[in-house]
Structure 1
């Protein structure tokens, strides 16, 4: 059968599976402490249904300690969408006015719709790990071997983004002195290659974060979803490059074996496997724990530990102050912040039930985190009842907004703005999760209840946003919204708004950042702001079950919540011109406010269908297999 809307027409196979996955039986989890596991690598995991292949094929590329900027090893890293993007960049399909896609599409839709569905595509609610590099996009055949040019660079059209669009980071891209930072909020964007330098003012690259400017590093822990270990090691300055690094990951079986293989040249790299006891969950948290001779620091970010995430994408991060060591014999409550950040961070780390993290837990207890002015909002896998329901996910956010904010006249006109890079299944209509359960959390201010008339704006890039981006179509590899999910929730697309950051000069760096906030109708104030790893999905935020007496969370996520009360403010003023960074007290929102609604011609980016009607800024088209 087919469905049609202003966003296109799809041909839907009768064999498509239902959105609701069958879950293994599991009891509810409570706050009762769990004994440490004997090994973080030996716990049993429930098997995934055979129809969804979660694990990557074994790597066939040798991992070298010092990779080049773009190598075939990148094809074995990350989700299927990311590997597709990497393959497309190495072997692009060039745009031709007479190009034929015969044999590439397994299901055809009406001409001009631009949306098609392959029989081999799996339902995708999140960043699903790759099935096989054989599913990556094919290269269009050259008209003739004689016309093939020797260098890819010679095939590139003039870039609309300027001369620096195609080049790697210049020598002065990394800070040689302490950058101008916004120490009030400690919220930073990443540096983006190819932009005017003023738009990187106050922004940070991973090399800046790990540099000696911020401390003499003794040891670090890297929590993440996606790793390129050789590249990660190269980002540490030479004097710290052999210091111990603990990798906290969620890979299992073949994927875990591939990750361990990556680390073979680096004996200082150790591993801790996060327990994923509920099907379809991921370890999506992105955090650095940095232990220095001078103290301790926490960095919570939205970037994976791969080069592509720190190159031409929009990312965000919170960097803590340098936490000093407490005097010996300090009490257990010493070093706590008004936001109870220390308690909540220790609780989050304890949820892993991992012996490998015990030393880090002890280190945190020995440091003074009292300067922290943000609240921790995390997710950990489990089913929770009673008071434990408010420990994780969006119910944790709801509790913080209830306890630490106040309603004010006209607040119902302050829209909820959510911005993310991936979208999960939310049911056949908006009331199933989004506008009931999730919107109730997002509209909470003190004791005020859900206001159904509060606007909700969801920012997600359109096809045109991706096509004209710095990376072109491969940027869509970081936006894994699948056709299988999209065609079952057409109602969602009426909420969509464009990704625009013209005031920051960053519109063409596609977002991998995830932010949620309440903004005033005139876009000059914020009621609160959250930067997090959590995309728009029930797996990340949790979903109520059993007549709202239980909440189920699938994944590990982590973010920080900014509330005005913690900064002695009633609201946050919005910085209207955040670049170059100055002493302005405004909050640096990473996109334009107010958001711009999709036009009738706009379509949300769908990563696993072809786009061949127009070339991207590299002169390529997007043709998934």
Structure 2
């Protein structure tokens, strides 16, 4: 199974499943009007089922959308009359349940970074965050928003009409881009950006927010798309019993330079440099690129921005995908050889192994050679193209140290809203049934919040004492020498997301083909046992094992099977 085959299967599956994730059609993303009383009928079909353009961006399937209706997205709804004037209306009941901003927040409170799970309607508030608290719409001047799936009306309702907006979207065909730009002309404050999608590039899957305020900028790397479902809300006003989907995010607030100058590129931290490079590759508007240099990146020395730039890249000049991940691990000081040297204790003379827990919302056609290469990247090792069918690490080692968290059918079926909620959790049964699929690595992905499903993409990487293998994957780090680091971002576990290693036919050099645009962040985290001098690194708030939102060590599948979106979604 090639990554191209994976992309086509994923295209079909999501187009089918997202037509009615919430049990009712979603509001339209037709940007020519924000009148919730008008409707557009979407005549596009896939295998006889309507696609929801309000939920998903796919190139040619973006032209129209299903019936619009008012929804319970909370806070402000904006209506436009035919003359284009905007009226603001506040839903007081929704306002109580979803405040637009925290009470009396400090100017830029998260200078070291913040890790949070997203709020879910009907769940107790506990170290979570709402999209209004992320956006802070009362103070927001410019928002650059990147996502794979969109509910345009919903996200436009979350900001003031005067806020300047840049939407970074997927549109592979030029004809589709022209249509979107024509529609966007109706809004003087809205600019659209379409990252290049040549040849084999099939997904603009990255999720990123750059939120500019008077004296600071907020950089947000969420796992959520820009749809109410992913932020714990419901698109159906008649069903407000509970949200069902959780996501996660990392954010950090950076102050504007007091001297008014631009930061020289050579003086940027690794995080700042890679963020800027990714934005340039994505063809963000020049004023956004220049604007990023107006801020102070000093407080990002403890984090790394990782990405997959869509396209084919010769290894060396442009390190992205698996190669960028490996470099970022080394830059963070978390390469396996260095960590073992620091943390092997006399009582654990046999040393440690690096354990990986990968929570994902989508799986490709996996095999052990890919898992082994990916494992090397997570350890900061040199990434090499594997010999066909061979692995760079023993398979028995991978079975012991690598765990993949993906929900079983039963977990989805018994969630708050049952099988209707599984439309964005993707795995094909034919990939699972292949002899090469690493079934032994699978664990049930169960949220710590009862009845909630997860769309998070997170990787926990930690060193575990060989003498404590029985505790290696415990939820609170028993057996851990050093919890090492955490990844949060848009990458699911697939070659499409992290890149496929191939030999260039013309130059015979190694290159990486990234079928998706993706981005994320890695940063060190602490175990409950670590304190004092052991914490000589900067930690973001929430940067500990206690913030992991899913159950560890996780139940092995045993006699259960995964959730198959194509077969199981109603």
TM-score (norm 1): 0.64
- Give a deviation string over 1:4-38, Cα, whole Å, max 9, x none: xxxxxxxxxxxxxx546499xxxxxxxxxxxxxxx
Matches of 1:367 and 1:82 in 2, distance apart?
47
* Alignment partner of 1:379 is 2:340: no
Q: Does the 8 Å CA contact 2:12/2:46 hold for their aligned counterparts?
A: no
- Give a deviation string over 1:540-559, Cα, whole Å, max 9, x none: 10121128822221211110
Q: Does the 8 Å CA contact 1:225/1:249 hold for their aligned counterparts?
A: yes
Q: Does the 8 Å CA contact 1:56/1:132 hold for their aligned counterparts?
A: no
Offset at 1:297?
Answer: 1.8
* Aligned residue in 2 for 1:590: 549
Matches of 2:45 and 2:307 in 1, distance apart?
22
Change in Cα spacing, 1:487 to 1:85, as seen in structure 2 (3 Å) is farther
Q: Does the 8 Å CA contact 1:380/1:557 hold for their aligned counterparts?
A: yes
Q: Does the 8 Å CA contact 2:29/2:53 hold for their aligned counterparts?
A: no
Of 252, 261, 279 in structure 2, the residue corresponding to residue 349 of structure 1 is 279
* Aligned residue in 2 for 1:141: none
Matches of 2:202 and 2:45 in 1, distance apart?
15
* Aligned residue in 2 for 1:475: 421
* Alignment partner of 1:562 is 2:483: no
Of 430, 433, 436 in structure 1, the residue corresponding to residue 368 of structure 2 is 430
Of 590, 596, 609 in structure 1, the residue corresponding to residue 567 of structure 2 is 609
Offset at 1:584?
Answer: 9.4
* Aligned residue in 1 for 2:146: 223
- Give a deviation string over 1:392-420, Cα, whole Å, max 9, x none: 11221112323412232366544211111
* Alignment partner of 1:241 is 2:241: no
Offset at 1:500?
Answer: 2.0
Matches of 1:325 and 1:501 in 2, distance apart?
40
Secondary structure (helix, strand or coil) at the match of 2:326 reads helix
- Give a deviation string over 1:564-587, Cα, whole Å, max 9, x none: 69x9975899x9xxxxxx999665
* Aligned residue in 2 for 1:324: 256
Offset at 1:366?
Answer: 1.6
Matches of 2:147 and 2:48 in 1, distance apart?
17
Secondary structure (helix, strand or coil) at the match of 1:594 reads coil
* Aligned residue in 2 for 1:549: 510
* Aligned residue in 2 for 1:103: none
Higher RCO by CA contacts (8 Å cutoff, separation 6 or greater) = 1
Give the aligned length: 470
What runs of 5+ residues in structure 1 fail to find an aligned partner? 1-17, 24-47, 90-125, 137-167, 576-581, 611-621
Offset at 1:325?
Answer: 2.7
What runs of 5+ residues in structure 2 fail to find an aligned partner? 17-25, 67-92, 233-243, 345-349, 384-391, 465-471
Pairwise CA RMSD: 4.6
Name the structure where strand makes up a greater proportion of residues: 2
Matches of 2:58 and 2:422 in 1, distance apart?
14
| Residues 130-279 of structure 1: pairs in structure 2 closer than 5 A | 171-174=96-99, 175-177=101-103, 185-196=113-124, 200-212=125-137, 216-236=139-159, 240-253=160-173, 256=177, 259=180, 263=184, 266-279=187-200
Matches of 2:194 and 2:330 in 1, distance apart?
34
Change in Cα spacing, 1:179 to 1:277, as seen in structure 2 (3 Å) is same
Secondary structure (helix, strand or coil) at the match of 1:193 reads coil
Matches of 1:329 and 1:185 in 2, distance apart?
24
Q: Does the 8 Å CA contact 2:29/2:150 hold for their aligned counterparts?
A: no
- Give a deviation string over 1:507-549, Cα, whole Å, max 9, x none: 4221111011223414415111100100111111012112882
Secondary structure (helix, strand or coil) at the match of 1:276 reads coil
* Aligned residue in 1 for 2:387: none
Of 350, 358, 371 in structure 2, the residue corresponding to residue 418 of structure 1 is 358
Matches of 1:534 and 1:82 in 2, distance apart?
28
Mean CA deviation greater in 529-538 or 246-255: 246-255
Mean CA deviation greater in 295-304 or 72-81: 72-81
Change in Cα spacing, 1:280 to 1:173, as seen in structure 2 (3 Å) is same
Change in Cα spacing, 1:294 to 1:327, as seen in structure 2 (3 Å) is same
Change in Cα spacing, 1:51 to 1:210, as seen in structure 2 (3 Å) is closer
Mean CA deviation greater in 174-183 or 514-523: 174-183
Secondary structure (helix, strand or coil) at the match of 1:320 reads strand
Matches of 1:300 and 1:393 in 2, distance apart?
17
Secondary structure (helix, strand or coil) at the match of 1:558 reads strand
Matches of 2:451 and 2:513 in 1, distance apart?
36
TM-score (norm 2): 0.70
Offset at 1:380?
Answer: 0.2
* Alignment partner of 1:65 is 2:65: no
Matches of 2:415 and 2:429 in 1, distance apart?
21
Change in Cα spacing, 1:349 to 1:131, as seen in structure 2 (3 Å) is closer
Matches of 1:444 and 1:194 in 2, distance apart?
41
Q: Does the 8 Å CA contact 2:208/2:220 hold for their aligned counterparts?
A: yes
